[in-house]
Chains A and B, each alone.
Chain A
């Protein structure tokens, strides 16, 4: 019943609109405005001109208000060294383009309003002026050159090689969660292969590699404040992307092609809790490359500790080497290892053959 009523009222509304439209058309024929060249009718020019002005000032004011009003929601607290560089470059560029935005929009709407059609006037025949053209080619070129230079310097610093003493964390994306691995006391991550992946050994770590024996797999990322952190990023199925919004960090996780990103955290989680006034604040890791059904839910927590807290965390029993917690995995590797090696080398050979054929 309600559906019928809704449909009926929509139909009635459309009929009324159509009648209004017909009346408007007939009225304009009666007034003779349809005899004039298109776009020269006084009323519609005035109305459109006024609306253009209204749009410029009303829209501009609404934009300014909403921008200021959203400021607190828009600005993410910052917690990394390079984030400071990119943020300041971002806002510098925003000011530059903001000036151009305001000037060009004002000119566009004011000119449109001011030079609207008048019967007694004629446009000014002004086909070109090479001097002006050169000036307004050069100005953007110079501004662009400055912005490119700023961007290039920042980009080079951010993407430079990570310092030797960096804390290394391996981040692996999979459908649909993140996993992390620490290299343990030896500072070296053990070899991992997709062919070795099992339900327990989700990284596919090869435990015949000595470096793998002290690797551990925690449920959160912990990093010390003020120390460089090197993320070694990879994926085991489709492309994912590591996004740490508070640290201004983003790098794709690509299957078959390890990537990396290093940064220096500047605020511990506790400091950020105090700063934001939110006792439950946590740094979050999100996925920003579409990866399937659970793309929107790949959340992982990153904790920035003070130096001592970080050492304490490393020493936690939960962070014992992975293989010590799952000793049966090692047994399997040791008993089967000669066989495994043979099998492994065979598959590799096969793979290479395929590659050369292609």
Chain B
């Protein structure tokens, strides 16, 4: 295979001839075990969409239970079998649903599906490279992810159920098979799947970092990179630094579960016997878990930052406001994301002094986040906004990010977290700020880059319907959850009816469930639009959005190696939209200043 050579010789003329013979690749080489970053990106996208529907469906199942706690669900028996007992959902299965929903959405959809798709697709195209630094590693990354997916998927069908101790899998609950059904083989599957997932993320992440550093085209300095690439680059660094820590936690947990060690276990009496484990600390696991877990939420949201910045600036026809401040805030968020993890642990019995330190560090992170929001707003100001579907989702993203981000200021405050920790207030907060918001970033990306992926456009009108239904139902689901959280309702409760203090809000819970079903149903509009448009969508031109970045200088459907001739050189930043003096309202990055004398700014005259 010479595809790796292609990326190395990217500025040599004969590179094009060299990859001509790839047209003879057989089906497997071309579509299954492909080393082409565009095919791998699509593989990630399809897997992500598949998992998103599974994860969404699981959430509908537990919303049925929460919305109608008195109802009988005999109609679910054909799908759930023994997990429905006399029409009632099994409480342990309820926990399994919650756990799997979290695991699938955080890792398989919003990490692999989002980063995997867009980092793979856009990094080579936007930095001007023929492919990733290592196409082979990239392929391995996907197929190891696929293996992790298969294992997690199989665990859904185990007789004792999949892992059920919450997506955070805190031991001892997850470590002791006698503590719950889900901690039997389901947990083993979870750990193996997660270990493979981490390997896949590391292979992918190292590749992204290397490609951005080494394979930028001529003239593409770091300060001429689109913000998408900055976001993917920093996301990959976070992943490479944080995922190994989760790997170590998972490994130690495997040891505790299978080899009788006591890293996380001490002084336990369960199922009628005292265990001999002593000296371990369950809190140690939480530190290790959240050392990944907190950067992980930025791994989820930062690609969305990048995508949204790009979509907003393109469709507002305005340069992104404060390009350097945007990069600075991304770097700031990346650095801070490593020193805030213990804000998930204020009430675990951790030393209160540490709580003060982590509160301070956590609230600092609000500053770069606020700067990003202000910059997006300033970009919209006096723009000439095109409401493409992608743009609608980008606007929706900013709205959701504000709504969800602000409550982070409350939860990051250790004194306030005492009451709100593990209540629905937290659920509302993170679903808005990193769940729904990251999904909106992903949708914006899919609608925006669909023409480059498939050579056709997605239907705009269906897109609008999809956007509005999704946007409205997200707010209808998560805004009321704040009230329920302020009232103290704990999360991961099968039913609240056993408590007097939590006996209110039953109508509200029904309302939330109905909204959730509406939101989930709306996704089928997307699915239809997506599949239909791949085959029958309107044919796209090579630059349908009049965008400046390099991927739009490729043919409608870029082939292996991306550019048929030489890779274009880059002369300017990616945000010359509506520059005064220019005829068109956009100037792509590969247009030299010598061709745009009428619009050059005084300081750009030297480059002519």
* Chain A contact residues, CB within 8 Å of chain B: 21, 24-25, 28, 34, 37-40, 44-45, 47-49, 51-52, 55, 59, 63, 66-67, 70, 73-76, 83, 85-86, 89-90, 93-94, 96-97, 100-101, 104-105, 107-109, 111-112, 115-118, 121-129, 132-133, 136-137, 140-141, 144, 147-148, 150-152, 154-156, 158-159, 174-175, 193-195, 197, 204, 233, 236-239, 241, 243, 245-246, 248-252, 254-257, 259, 280-282, 284, 286-297, 299, 347, 350-351, 354-355, 358
CA distance A140 to B406 in the complex (A): 11
Q: Which residues of chain B from 378 to 434 have a CB within 8 Å of any chain A CB?
A: 378, 380-388, 391-392, 395, 398-399, 402-403, 406-407, 409-410, 413-416, 418-419, 421-423
Selected from B499, B575, B578, the residue in CB contact (under 8 A) with A286 is: B499
CA distance A280 to B325 in the complex (A): 58
Residues of the A chain whose Cβ atoms lie less than 8 Å from the Cβ of B352: 155-156, 159
Known: A39-B391, A48-B392, A125-B579. A197 touches B269 (CB 8 A): yes
What are 21 A-B pairs at a CB distance below 8 A?
A: A37-B546, A38-B457, A44-B387, A83-B419, A86-B418, A105-B403, A123-B316, A123-B317, A123-B577, A148-B360, A151-B363, A194-B268, A238-B179, A239-B173, A252-B348, A284-B499, A293-B180, A296-B492, A299-B499, A354-B262, A355-B262
Residues of the A chain whose Cβ atoms lie less than 8 Å from the Cβ of B81: none
Selected from B176, B378, B475, B496, the residue in CB contact (under 8 A) with A296 is: B496
CA distance A13 to B388 in the complex (A): 27
Residues of the B chain whose Cβ atoms lie less than 8 Å from the Cβ of A148: 359-360, 363, 413
CA distance A39 to B392 in the complex (A): 10
Residues of the A chain whose Cβ atoms lie less than 8 Å from the Cβ of B413: 89, 93, 147-148, 151, 155
Asked if A73 contacts B505 (CB within 8 A), the reply is yes
Asked if A249 contacts B418 (CB within 8 A), the reply is yes
A-B contact count (CB 8 A): 377
Selected from A137, A238, A287, A296, the residue in CB contact (under 8 A) with B371 is: A137
Ranked 9 nearest A-B pairs via Cβ:
A39-B386, A256-B266, A259-B349, A159-B352, A39-B388, A245-B488, A124-B382, A151-B413, A123-B578
Asked if A250 contacts B421 (CB within 8 A), the reply is yes
User: Is residue B373 within 8 Å, beta carbon to beta carbon, of the partner chain?
Assistant: yes
Complex interface: stretch among B104-112, B118-126, B139-147, B280-288: B280-288
Q: How far is the CB of A130 from chain B (nearest CB, A)?
A: 8
User: Is residue B24 within 8 Å, beta carbon to beta carbon, of the partner chain?
Assistant: no
Q: How far is the CB of A5 from chain B (nearest CB, A)?
A: 16
* Chain B contact residues, CB within 8 Å of chain A: 91-92, 95, 165-166, 170, 172-173, 176, 179-180, 261-263, 265-270, 274-276, 278-283, 315-325, 347-349, 352, 355-356, 359-360, 363-364, 366-367, 370-371, 373-375, 377-378, 380-388, 391-392, 395, 398-399, 402-403, 406-407, 409-410, 413-416, 418-419, 421-423, 457, 459-462, 464, 468, 471-472, 475, 479-480, 483-484, 486-488, 490-496, 498-502, 504-505, 508, 538, 544-546, 575, 577-580, 585
Known: A39-B391, A104-B373, A295-B95. A128 touches B410 (CB 8 A): no
